[in-house]
Amino acid sequence: MENFEYFEPKTVQEACTLLTQSENGKVLAGGASLVVLLKNKLIFPDRLINLKTIEGLNRIELNPQGELSIGALCRHRDIESSPVIQERFEILAEAASKISSPPIRNMGTIGGGICHADPSADFPPALIALEARLKVSGSKRSRTIPIHEFFTDYYETVLEPDEILTEILIPPLPSPSGGVYLKLDKTTNSVAILGIGAVISLDKKENCTFAGLGVGGAAPTPLAIKEVSSLAGKPVDIHSIEAVASAAVKQSHPISNVHASEDYRREMVGVLVKRALKQALERAGKKVTSS
């Protein structure tokens, strides 16, 4: 590793100011991705700013309106084991449980993973399906960004050099809702070939009131499949699910690499989108029946 300055700020504003004073500063959240990049000499920061000394960035809170707030420093394990998330946002707990290995889940943070912007990461498809928003703080302003607008290219985001992701906001889901995260990988909890997040909400007559769908690993950035909104306002059937799956395939433009070919990924997008939507529908339907 090259030499760099190390800082432990006490506030987000202090951390942002330290970034403005640096030519190539990096922030340390969990370190699961950053340490690998440092050890392999893929990045050469002049400053390393540890966010773990800032209080309040590791909270999981549900407000009276049902909106979920997840601090950027919440570890994958915290999300996987949270009773609130397991009960109301099961798709997130499911995605967290499929990230790498237990040591990585004990170390890695949701904010660090999002900002690393790996197109095959597990959380983004689930968060896209939930229509999450990201709260970002900078030295001069704060802003909130819909998650599907956050990613711009392979490992690139809209973050400015002085900005830090501090919070993930998830709107309340209509009840009852069913969510599922499906991961296609070569071995259990390895790098995702594809990741699909799907959410469906139903009313008492089993008409769809909300549907969300995110796809990871099928493009330079995680994809929000807008056509899923066509499911709302009516019963969901196999024909409407197949139409959404077809739209997802058309929107995909994957690459070939050591994990899978472009053609295989594209074909499996259609297969897994149908499977995820069916499972989300089934979970929501069971909740309607039991209510």
pLDDT in tens, 88-113: 999 999 999 999 888 889 999 999 99
Domain 177-290: CATH superfamily, name plus number:
CO dehydrogenase flavoprotein, C-terminal domain (3.30.390.50)
What is the pLDDT averaged over residues 261-270?
96
State which amino acid sits at residue 156: E
Cβ-based neighbour number of residue 234 at 10 Å: 11
Q: What is the dihedral of CA 69, 199, 96, 217, to 10 degrees?
A: -120
Distance CA 170, CA 136 (A): 14
Fold for the domain defined by 5-50: 3.30.43
Numbered ranges of CATH 3.30.465.10 in the chain: 60-170
Confidence class for position 120, pLDDT limits 50, 70, 90: very high
Per-residue pLDDT at 291 exceeds 80: no
Q: What global pTM score does this model have? A: 0.95
pLDDT, averaged across the chain: 94
Distance CA 227, CA 180 (A): 18
pLDDT of residue 1: 55
pLDDT of residue 289: 86
Write out the CATH class of domain 60-170: alpha beta
Distance CA 288, CA 176 (A): 6
What is the pLDDT averaged over residues 205-229?
97
| Closest C-alpha among 85, 270, 288 to residue 175 | 288
pLDDT of residue 40: 82
For 52, 121, 142, 175, the CA distances from 221, given in Å and listed in that order, are 27, 10, 24, 30
Per-residue pLDDT at 221 exceeds 70: yes
Confidence class for position 164, pLDDT limits 50, 70, 90: very high
pLDDT of residue 31: 83
pLDDT of residue 2: 67
